[in-house]
Each structure stands twice: as C-alpha cells, then as structure tokens.
A and B are shown apart, each in its own frame.
Chain A
Amino acid sequence: MNIVVLMKQVPDTEGDRKLNPADNTLDRNAVDPVINYIDEFAIEEGLQLKEAHGGEVTILTVGPERATESIRKALSMGADKGVHVSDEALHGSDAIQTATVIAKALGTVEWDVVVAGSEATDSRMSVVPALVAEILGVPQLSLARKVTIEGPTVTIERVTDSGYASVQGQTPAVISVVEKINEPRYPSFKGIMAAKSKPIATLALADLSLDAGEVGVANAWSAVSSFENAPPRAAGQTIKDEGDGGVKIADFLASKKLV
C-alpha cells in the first residue's frame, strides 16, 4: 500500500512570527522554519501504515526552496522519497490554491491513502485535507485519532465535539490525523545518513500543467487587506492571596457582572 504524507514547513511557533508588510503574506524569513508539529504525527502514522501493510511512503510538500530541509528530516525518520512542489509563482497562495496544487501533484505519484496533519500551526485553517478530498472526489477521513486499514477499507475514529465517530471509506482516500494519535519517532543516525541519498523530485508549476495565473497572492481567492501587531493585552490587577483570594475573585467577577 502506497502512502503519501502531506507535510508543511512552517515558522517555529516559539519564534516571533510576522507578516511581511510588502504584500501581507507570511514572512518566512522572520523565524526558523520547522516541520509543522501536527504533521510529525502524520509522518509517523504513514510510517506505521507502511510497516503494517508494506509499500512506500512519499512526503509531498508545497513550499519554498528551503522546505527541502524539512523533507530531508522526514526522510530521515524513514520515509522513502519526497516530492517538492516549488515555484516562485506559488508565493502567497491561499488554502484553496494550495489544495489545488497538492491535488495535481498527487497525480504524479502512485498512492492508496494520503495522510495529512489536521492543522498547520501558521494558518490554523484546518481545511486542506477536506479540500483535497473534495477536489479529488475521494473519501474524507479526517480528524482521525485512530486509523485501521483492512484491504481497501479504511476505518477511523473521527474526533467529534462529544466523543468520536467510527467512519469508513474505501481507498483511495484522504486521511487527516490529530495530535497525539501516536508517538512520532526521532530520526536515527542511520536514518539521517540514509536520507541523504533518498530521491526528492522537485516540480515546478509547468510540470503540473498549472498556470502561474491560477496561484499566488495576486490571484488568491481571499486576501489580507491590512494588519497590525495586536497591542499587548494590558495586565489588570494582581493581588497576593491573604486568605481571601477566592472571595476577591468573586468580587471582581461580580463587578464585571460575570456571576
């Protein structure tokens, strides 16, 4: 069974993330880039599915040149090869454009399931897996906290507000996984060495029969009109508990009509 893991390179959430005032897009140079945290769980799930069912794990990334570093890291965890869609024209693409590119790129690889993280820590929209399923017309098995595959049948436990739903679909299918579904492995020294010689196919828009006019910030379906750094939340009053701290909080809540 062949697996494609969708991986996004994002600015480290520990850094001071910024938008670039020139075109109101993410400033990818402001903070060191890392593999999107939740995608580490997607990579691990892909590797576990391969261990159980055989086949190959391909890492698919749409992102600037530097995203190769993150693909190499995923390969050092044990993935077999990478596909990197990289093109200047993609800069500032929105979620729908990006999903369109991913759907096209999936046409260059043999796969039975696509595994994605449920959300990226930069945009936090949590929509790309649903969009890829919609565009390709395949089952959307999203927000999985457990994945089981038997033959062509994929069963997941989908996280819901009140618990979970068992959901079933047939391959080919798009799966998204939530944080904590597994314990992502660390690359071994052997894995790091092996990753250096694993293949990464770099594709430009032309390789996917996509036109520059369909992607990028100038053609996006949604756009940031303006932004400002939020003023730091003004700290209110902090008191030391003198034995009546709970009562003081109740007084404060009452003054705000919150109780």
Chain B
Amino acid sequence: MSEVLVLVDAVDGKVKKSTLELLTAARSLGEPAAVVLGPAGVAGPLNAALAEYGAAKVYVVENDDLDGYVVAPKAEALSVVAAQASPAAILLSSTSENKEIAARLAYRIGSGILTDAVGVDAEGATQSIFGGGVTVVSKVVKGASVITVRPNSIAPVPASGAATEVKVDVTISDAAKGAKITESVVEAKGSRPQLSDASVVVSGGRGIGAPENFKVIEELADTLGAAVGASRAVVDAGWADHKMQVGQTGVTVSPQLYIAVGISGAIQHRAGMQTAKTIVAINKDADAPIFELADFGVVGDLFTVAPQLAEEIRKRKA
C-alpha cells in the first residue's frame, strides 16, 4: 500500500487537531505517514499523538533553517521526503502558509495541486466553490495528489500506528533562503483560538452599532471557547481588524458551530461561512438573509439575546 504523507502542524509541542483530521483522512487513501519539519528536537514530543492517530511512520526533518525563511525551505524539505517515500498523496491543512508550501512542493515534484478540500477519498477531493454555491469533485491527474484540506472537515478518529521515526537529512539550498524572517510579532489578544481552524466561531456584524459594543461578541465567544470573527462592514468601519474578516475576501471558516450576531448575511459574508456544520443567527431584522441558512435563528435585540446566551452557557457549564 502506498504511503500518504501528512504535514504535521503543531503549536507549543502539541499536534494540532487539523493534523489528526488529516491522519484520519489519509487512512482511506493509503498508509498514513506523518512529516515533521522544524528545528532540532521538534519531533520528540509529537510522536505519541501521531501514533495514536495511526501514523505508521514519522518522517522527521530537523533543520534550523526550516523556520527562519518564508515557506521555500519547507517545500524543499517536503520534496526530499516525497522523493524518498513515493507517496500516493500528500495532505496539508488549508492555512495560507500551507497552501503556499503545497504549491511550491507540487511544482517541484511535478504534481497537480488541489486546495481547500472539504472531503478526500479515492475519487479525489470535494471542494465547495463560489461561496458554497457549487460543489465539485476534483482530482490530480499528474503525479502524486497534493491536497490541502480545510480544518474541521473530517472528524478525527484514533487508530493505533507504529509511528516509526525515519530521520531525513536535508540541506536547505541558498535559493530557498531568499525571504528571511527577521522578526515574528504576536498580536493576537489573549488565549482565543485562531479563526481559521477554530471549531466554534462567534462573529459580529453591523448590528453591534458601535466599536465598543464588540465586547458583547467577545464575551459570548469566551464562554464558548470560540474564535471571534467579523463581517466586512465591521472591518471596513474600522471596528475590527481585517484579520477577523469572515467572507468571500478574508477568512473562510468551516467550524462545527458558527454564531452570527447582528450580521445580515450578505453574499460576501455567506461565502466565508456557509460550510459551517451548524449555524445560529441573532438579528433584529426578521427578513435578514442570514436566517435562510441558520439552523436556529432568533429575531431579537442582540444586546439582550447574546448576553443571555452567554449567561445560560456559563450556568450550564457550572
């Protein structure tokens, strides 16, 4: 059985849930093999989780040059691992950085690339395009399939794997070191999860009325351990950072739960969230288009409904 490589994403020595989703999907395509890229010592703490989710092998490239430059070294290292493993497919989580890595890798190894899959099987990848209006099944017709998969698209299921470590030595070429990272600055507030792969997202729209009212959204998000999003109207008005914009332009999310607060649901916004599993909407306008896709909607004043919901969740958790 051919191997299926999964690029491991980890934060603070922990494998991200999106990687466990990919290891689960990889089993339907071949034998899952994880690939860990990073500075010396990065792989050790990750091994147990990779074994628990069925990785038969763990390819490890430890090289201090992997993190200091924009994506090219990672694509180069992955291409070396791919040459050694001759995989049937290579899966990465659909983050903006991983899509760039996937593209450079695909070109290097002579493979086609598919991005933002919401499902993967032997037939290829399922993608939701044009703001969710069309569902397509696509396949790679040249080389190994390089596919990026949206986080939260697949439910992670444990399965035991040997997770046998295979060290791969890679020397990063000078050509791959053209874009040097001189400083990394963390701007994210507090400990909220990141929008792109959060399993719960609470977003605020124009209905919040004023920038200081955004705390209503944040408070509800924090009771749910959710990431905070915003509509384009709110970002355009300068009430929220562009990084929080959910929509046709901005971030596309597919969480388990999406709560739209004071968002009318313009097509531009729907394009970024309508593949969410469950959608809840709060809006004072009963005719708002967001109610057409909401699984549960409340027509009412967000300033009473949202805090009441936050309070109720706190009560039930207690």
CB proximity of B29 to chain A, nearest CB, Å:
16
SS class, residues of chain A in contact with chain B: mixed
**Which chain A positions have C-beta within 8 A of B252?**
124
Contact A163 B297 (CB under 8 A): no
Judged by a CB distance under 8 angstroms, whether A13 is at the interface is yes
Query: Which chain B residue shows the least CB distance to A96?
Result: B107
Judged by a CB distance under 8 angstroms, whether B155 is at the interface is no
One of A51-59, A188-196, A199-207, A234-242 contacting the partner: A234-242
- Give B121-157 as 1s and 0s: 1 = Cβ < 8 Å from A's Cβ atoms: 0011000111111111111111100000000000000
Judged by a CB distance under 8 angstroms, whether B115 is at the interface is yes
Tally of chain B residues near chain A (CB < 8 A): 98
Query: Which chain B residue shows the least CB distance to A13?
Result: B248
**Which chain A positions have C-beta within 8 A of B140?**
221-222
Judged by a CB distance under 8 angstroms, whether A80 is at the interface is no
**Which chain A positions have C-beta within 8 A of B296?**
236-238, 248-249, 252
Most chain-B Cβ atoms within 10 A of its Cβ — which of A16, A167, A221, A243?
A221
One of B32-40, B80-88, B160-168, B174-182 contacting the partner: B174-182
SS class, residues of chain B in contact with chain A: mixed
Contact A233 B293 (CB under 8 A): yes
CA distance A227 to B271 in the complex (A): 18
CA distance A50 to B37 in the complex (A): 39
Contact A139 B179 (CB under 8 A): yes
Contact A169 B179 (CB under 8 A): yes
One of B41-49, B54-62, B204-212, B278-286 contacting the partner: B278-286
**Which chain B positions have C-beta within 8 A of A17?**
130, 133-134
Contact B99 A140 (CB under 8 A): no
- Give B172-213 as 1s and 0s: 1 = Cβ < 8 Å from A's Cβ atoms: 000100111111111110000010100010000000000000
Contact of A162 among B113, B187, B307 (CB under 8 A): B187
**Which chain A positions have C-beta within 8 A of B317?**
259
Judged by a CB distance under 8 angstroms, whether A178 is at the interface is yes
Judged by a CB distance under 8 angstroms, whether A86 is at the interface is no
CB proximity of A169 to chain B, nearest CB, Å:
5
Chain B stretch 107-122: residues in CB contact (< 8 A) with chain A:
107-108, 111-116
Residues of A within 8 A of B (CB): 13-14, 16-19, 24, 37-38, 94-96, 99, 118-119, 121-122, 124-127, 130-131, 133-135, 137-143, 145, 155, 158-170, 173, 178-180, 220-230, 232-233, 235-241, 243-250, 252-254, 256, 258-259
13 A-B pairs in the complex with CB atoms less than 8 angstroms apart: A96-B113, A121-B248, A134-B72, A135-B107, A225-B123, A226-B136, A229-B134, A235-B297, A238-B281, A240-B299, A249-B298, A249-B312, A250-B312
Residues of B within 8 A of A (CB): 70-72, 75, 95-97, 99-100, 102-104, 106-108, 111-116, 123-124, 128-143, 175, 178-188, 194, 196, 200, 224, 235, 242-243, 245, 248-250, 252, 256-257, 267-268, 271, 274, 278-282, 286, 291-301, 304-313, 316-317
